[in-house]
Structures are given as C-alpha cells and as structure tokens.
Amino acid sequence: MMERAGKKNSQNLNFSLWRQDNHPVGLSDFKMLHQKLDYIHNNPAEAGIVEKPEDYLYSSARDYYGNPG
C-alpha cells in the first residue's frame, strides 16, 4: 500500500507513509475552535478505545476535567 502511494507521488522515490497534501482550516472564532477541539477529544471514544474522552491518557481532554494529562 505504501509502495503504491509512493509511486503516485512525484516527491517520493519508493514509498509514502504520510499524505503530502495539506488543507488547513482557519479557526475564525471560539465556536469553531471548540467544535474542532471537541472533535479531536471525542476521537478515542468514537473509536471505542475509551468510554469517555477524558479517560484517554494522552488526550488534553483530561486537563479540561481536572485530571493530570
């Protein structure tokens, strides 16, 4: 899979592990900032790794709930 992706990209010789494109999203207000932060925090729970976002050891969501991060 990485070899196939690398051959599609002229910037690589053999393999590609990371995507080369970048589509940044400007965070224009606090509402959008909180929306993106909630999305990031909820990813481990949505993936079934933990029950609640603050339970994921490596998440900054822990800091918002007063737990050590």
Q: Say if residue 61 is exposed, middle or buried (CB neighbours under 10 Å; 0-12, 13-18, 19+).
A: buried
**This prediction's pTM:** 0.62
> Which regions of the chain are under pLDDT 50?
none
The rounded distance, in Å, linking the Cα atoms of 43 and 36 is 11
**24-32: long-range contacts, CB 8 A cutoff, minimum separation 24:** none
Give the pLDDT of residue 2: 65
44-53 pLDDT, tens digit per residue, is 999 999 999 9
Give the pLDDT of residue 23: 72
List of residues 6+ apart from 32 with CB closer than 8 A: none
